[in-house]
Every structure is written in structure tokens, then in C-alpha cells.
Structure 1
Amino acid sequence: MKLLRDTWLLFSWIMGQTLRNPVWPLIGLFQPLCYLFLFAPLLQSVSGVPGFPAGGALTVFTPGVLVMMALFGSAFTGFGLVAELRSGFIERLRVTPLSRLALSLGYLLRDCVVLLLQSILLIAIALPLGVHINLAGLVLTLGLLILLALCLSSCSYALALLLKDENALSSILNTLSLPIFLLSGITLPLTLAPPILRLLARFNPFAYAVNAARALFTGNLASGDVIQGYLLIGLLALVAIFWVTRTFQRATV
């Protein structure tokens, strides 16, 4: 009960700060919308080639955009924590009776809510363009995005606590995010890739998330891709939450 109360108190305060300045969450939608309106139409001409998944270009592309939004939105949340470390806010939290797990969960819950709102808005914009998804597929896709946010935000916060420097954090995140993005099949399905890229993508957990999201959008709710994606990202989320909680404990003792 104390954990829930502590988490809610911190989440309420952090979420309130975000709502007072909603510019950054809205800016986070700009790049996905550019991909949706300016890149997705280019796929119409290749949607009929062998190897392109069924369902139409937009229905195949939109899940990738959602995963991309989770990747670049959640993975860079650590920058805000570095600023709060420098301002002394985390140090002030240290002397409160808040549990360290609640400290982690408060931030992570805020990130999940922001990503959910962004995702719902993006899907609402994509529906009139021709994207098709049933309610069950939508709910399961949002659940997968929550797991992605938990995983990526946890890793970003842990790195921020360890590095305590925006330049070092930026170097690591930018170095890792580009190959992860390219090997996820976000812009083009990996079924169109040469064998060597498909082999490398097997070691990229976010490729499984993209495949799972695409299966959910096309109505294959119980496919192997969905099960694999949920299990892998769920396991990584648990490990990442454990990591960031331990890092918070060590950084605030």
C-alpha cells in the first residue's frame, strides 16, 4: 500500500509538471506524423511486391511508426533526469520516505501515460487515411507500447544516473538508436531485406516488437510474432526496471 501511495504521489507531481508544459510531448508527435504523411505514401508502389506483408501499406507502416515513437521518445527521457540531478531535485527526494522503487515507477508511469496519449492521437489521425485495426488489436498494441516505454525509459534513466552528463548520454543513445532503428524493420519490413540484415535483426529485440505490432494491426492476435514480442519485451522491461531501481538506490544513498 505504501508503494502505491508513494508512486501515485510522485507520478501526480511529475505528470502535473508535464501537463503544465505540454510542448515537448506534442513536438514528439511531429516526426512520426512526418513519416505518416510524407513517407508512408511512398510505400504504396512497393506494397504489392513479393515479401511485403498483407494488409496494405499504411496498416503495415503505422505499427512501425508507433514503435519508433516509443524508441525515440522513451529512450531520451534520461535527459530530463540529468537536469533534475543537477538542480538538486533528486537529492531532495533522497531525504523523503519515498521508496526507491516508487521513485522509479513514478517517472516510468508518467512516460507510459505520455506515450499512450501520443499513440492514441497518432492512430486517430491514421484511421481516416485508411489504417484498419480492431479494438482487441488496438488494446494489445497499446499494451506492447507500454512495455516498450517501461524498458526504454528505465534504461535511459539508469544511464542518466550513472553518467550524470548530457553529452555522454547523448553520445551513447545516438550511437545505439540508429542501428536499432535500421534493424527493426520500422520503415520497410525485414521480409524485403537481404539475408544478412535479417540475420542481424534476430538479435534486435525491437524487430520482434515491430513484428508483433504489425500482426496485431492485421488481426493476427494469437500469432507467434505477438507471443514472441510480448515475452521478449516484457522480460526486458522487468530487467530494466530492476536495473533502474538498483541504480536509484545506489545514487541516493
Structure 2
Amino acid sequence: MISTKTLRDGAIVAKRNLIKIRRVPELLVFTTLSPIMFILLFAYVFGSAINVPGVGYREFLIPGIFAQTVIFGATITGSGLAEDMQKGIIERFRSLPMSRNAVLVGRTDSDVLNNVIVIVVMSLTGLVVGWRIHTSFLEAAAGFLLLLLFAYAISWIMAWVGLLVPSPEVVQQASFVVIFPITFIANTFVPTNGFPGPLRAIANWNPVSSVTEAARQLFGNTSAKLPTPNDWSLQHPVIYTLIWVVIMLAVFIPLAGQQYKRAASR
């Protein structure tokens, strides 16, 4: 259980990370430019060639872009921790009278706030290209919250990776090799009913597909004309996504904590 001291110290570390973004605004600029580029590229270049029955492709697309972007945004946790390790900042933190878990808590919390900013920018871009929310305020808020919760769980995986590898460059390369395919072998950009059989099964049980489908349902960006998937994961996408969130947090919070102790003692 996280103590009050850990939360208080974690908030200070999170503030430190957010101040860094303010002092180096290029970090936030390039983080937001990538999803904007994807929205414009798929909406105007590929969108004309992709037909989604019963719903405009741009409305179908935006929740998928949300999911992809917050997952990639979670990789900042790993590269940030690897950079702090490389520069000896972690050793300085260990010399201070602060909770050992505060560094990890502050890092993951600050990256959630970074994702909030990115989602706001993407939402505004989506509205410009024709995306709309057709559900209630509470349902839409639940959609955004689920995306951020999923990204928070991914950030703990990235925290473990960031403490495991020697440099932020390795974190970026390793995360790209893994995250890029799992965000494309999913329903993020096109419905999976056209995929070959084995690939469709993998895509439908991919948690990226479930968080994307959950967001589409909560935003009202679905259509009765789309084929109903037979897989339980997409018939109950919110529950399936939350199951994955619980698993990732239960496994990687302890792993990241243990790796932090080993890495900081080297």
C-alpha cells in the first residue's frame, strides 16, 4: 500500500518532471505533433479509400489515434527514468530523506498529466476534421478516463524497462519495436473483420483493440452496420480493458520497485 509520505514525495517529483517540460517545450511539441500528423494523414489521405459501414471514417479513426498516442506517450516514463539513471539523478534522490517509491510514483503521475495535455490537443484536432461525441458527458468522461488508466498501466511497464536498459535511446528503440506492431495489429485504424483468420484472432484479443473499442462505444463512434465480433474481449471491451489494467499494475508495480532498488544500488 502506498503511504501518505510516498504520495507527498511523489507529487514533488512529478512537479519536477512537469517543470522540465515547461523548460524544454520541444518535448511536448513533438509529442503532440505526431498524433496530429496521424489524424491528418489517415483522415485526408487514407480516409478516402477506407469505408467503415454506418459511421464516418474520421469518427471511427479518432478513438484509435487516442489509444495509440497515449500508449506511445507512456514510453516517456521509461526514457525519463533511463535518462535520470544515466545522469546520476537517481543517486541524488536516494541521498535525500524521501520515500524510495516516490521517484516511480512521481514519474508515472507526471506522464499521465502529459497525456492529458496531448488528449486535449488531439480532441481539438479531431473536432476540426469532423469527429464528434454522440454520448453523454459522463460516458465521454469515462472514455477519456479509461484511455488514461490504460496508459498509466503501460507506464509502469515502461518504468521497469527504463530501469532495466542502459540508456533512453535503447528504451525508445525497444518500445517502438513492441508498441508499433501491437497498435497496428488491432482495430485502431480499420475494422478487424477483413483480417486473415489467425491475425484477426490476435487483433481481437489485443488489449489495444479493447481499449479502442471501449472508447468508441463510450464516445458513440460505433455503428450497428459494423459486424459484431464473436470474441468476448470486444463484446465486453470495458471489462476486458480493466482486467488488463489490473494485471499490468499488479505485475509491474512490484517489478519496477524491485528493479529500482537494484539499479539505484549499482
Same fold (TM over 0.5): yes
Kept in 1, the 8 Å contact 2:163–2:263? The answer is yes
Aligned to 1:75: 75
Distance 2:108 2:193 in 1: 33
Asked if residue 110 in structure 1 is aligned to residue 110 in structure 2, the reply is yes
Asked if residue 237 in structure 1 is aligned to residue 249 in structure 2, the reply is yes
Aligned to 1:227: 239
Relative to structure 1, is the Cα distance of residues 56 and 233 closer, same or farther in structure 2, using a 3 angstrom cutoff?
farther
Kept in 2, the 8 Å contact 1:215–1:226? The answer is no
Kept in 1, the 8 Å contact 2:10–2:106? The answer is yes
Kept in 2, the 8 Å contact 1:151–1:238? The answer is no
Matches within 5 A, 1:181-196: 181-196=183-198
1:76 Cα deviation after fit: 4.4
73-82 vs 55-64, which moves further? 73-82
Asked if residue 246 in structure 1 is aligned to residue 250 in structure 2, the reply is no
Asked if residue 138 in structure 1 is aligned to residue 140 in structure 2, the reply is yes
Matches within 5 A, 1:84-123: 84-123=84-123
Matches within 5 A, 1:1-253: 1-41=4-44, 42-48=46-52, 52=53, 54-133=54-133, 134=135, 135-218=137-220, 224-253=236-265
Offset from partner CA, 1:71-127 (integer Å, 9 cap, x none): 222124322322211211001111223223222110001100000111012112212
Relative to structure 1, is the Cα distance of residues 77 and 7 closer, same or farther in structure 2, using a 3 angstrom cutoff?
closer
Q: How many residues align?
A: 247
Kept in 2, the 8 Å contact 1:6–1:99? The answer is yes
- What RMSD, in angstroms, separates the aligned Cα atoms of the two structures? 2.2
Relative to structure 1, is the Cα distance of residues 169 and 8 closer, same or farther in structure 2, using a 3 angstrom cutoff?
closer
67-76 vs 223-232, which moves further? 223-232
Offset from partner CA, 1:21-50 (integer Å, 9 cap, x none): 2211121111211121121233345335xx
The alignment partner of 1:29 has SS state of helix
Relative to structure 1, is the Cα distance of residues 37 and 230 closer, same or farther in structure 2, using a 3 angstrom cutoff?
same
Kept in 2, the 8 Å contact 1:76–1:173? The answer is no
Distance 1:120 1:99 in 2: 32
94-103 vs 82-91, which moves further? 94-103
Kept in 1, the 8 Å contact 2:192–2:204? The answer is no
How does the TM-score come out when normalised to structure 2? Answer: 0.83
Kept in 1, the 8 Å contact 2:14–2:110? The answer is yes
Kept in 1, the 8 Å contact 2:75–2:172? The answer is no
Distance 1:153 1:40 in 2: 28
Aligned to 2:225: none
How does the TM-score come out when normalised to structure 1? Answer: 0.87
Distance 1:252 1:15 in 2: 23
Q: Which runs of 5+ in 1 are unaligned?
A: none
Distance 2:17 2:177 in 1: 29
Kept in 1, the 8 Å contact 2:7–2:102? The answer is yes
Distance 1:206 1:96 in 2: 39
1:175 Cα deviation after fit: 2.3
1:202 Cα deviation after fit: 4.1
Q: Which runs of 5+ in 2 are unaligned?
A: 223-234
